[in-house]
């Protein structure tokens, strides 16, 4: 497996296709050589999810390769290792965090959005013990008695690849939105 990753706040739509072409060229493959297309489905940035899903669905339609969706919080948790108690966490802004709990790689909860101040108590209620919390939201939970924070900007590509290998393909991959987008239409 070969991949590229670039943390970015903006410009996803301009960079994604050229970056995918660069990865394919470096691997000396064409898009028709791809056996499965996997895409993270959120939660996360509204625009980033839409851009990633649109690109993945376009590749799926163009190549016929199966398409699978991977939860972003599952990918973050897997990036910190699948042993023990682990949670994926993303800073949802405004004092909120996206959070999902796992044990030995199996989900213990659904992806949720909650106040960051309540996240460590939620993890303790799910299962007592020490939690590895991985992702860009991990620093929001750092310092709690039951948390080892693992700050990651994005999922590890190898961990994501392992999840993708076992993910069930679907023609109807949809994003996981846990809140409304920040952008609003102005009244005319």
- Same domain assignment for residues 63 and 81: no
Whether 183 is in a domain gets the answer: no
Q: How far is CA 54 from CA 80, 120, 175, 184, in A?
A: 28, 34, 10, 21
- Same domain assignment for residues 99 and 146: yes
Whether 117 is in a domain gets the answer: yes
User: E strands of 94-164, at which residues?
Assistant: 96-103, 106-107, 112-115, 131-134, 147-150
Residue 183: the pLDDT is 67
Which residue do the tokens 């028709």 mark? 32
Residues for the chain: how many in total? Answer: 188
Counted domains in the chain: 2
C-beta neighbour count of 64 within 10 angstroms: 10
pTM score, whole prediction: 0.91
Each residue's pLDDT tens digit, 35-58: 999 999 999 988 889 999 999 999
């Amino acid at each position: 497996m070969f991949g590229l990753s670039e943390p970015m706040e903006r410009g996803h739509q301009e960079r994604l296709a050229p970056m995918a072409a660069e990865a394919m060229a470096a691997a000396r493959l064409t898009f028709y050589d791809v056996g499965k297309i996997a895409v993270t489905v959120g939660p996360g940035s509204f625009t980033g999810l839409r851009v990633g899903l649109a690109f993945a669905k376009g590749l799926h339609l163009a190549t016929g390769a199966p398409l699978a969706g991977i939860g972003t919080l599952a990918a973050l948790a897997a990036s910190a290792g699948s042993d023990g108690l682990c949670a994926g966490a993303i800073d949802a802004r405004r004092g909120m965090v996206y959070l999902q709990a796992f044990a030995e790689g199996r989900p213990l909860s659904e992806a949720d959005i909650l106040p960051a101040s309540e996240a460590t108590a939620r993890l303790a209620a799910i299962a007592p013990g020490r939690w590895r919390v991985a992702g860009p939201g991990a620093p929001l939970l750092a310092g709690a008695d039951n948390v080892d924070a693992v700050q990651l900007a994005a999922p590890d590509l190898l961990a994501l690849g392992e999840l993708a290998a076992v993910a069930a393909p679907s023609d109807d991959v949809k994003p996981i939105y846990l809140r409304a987008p920040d952008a609003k239409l102005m009244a005319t």
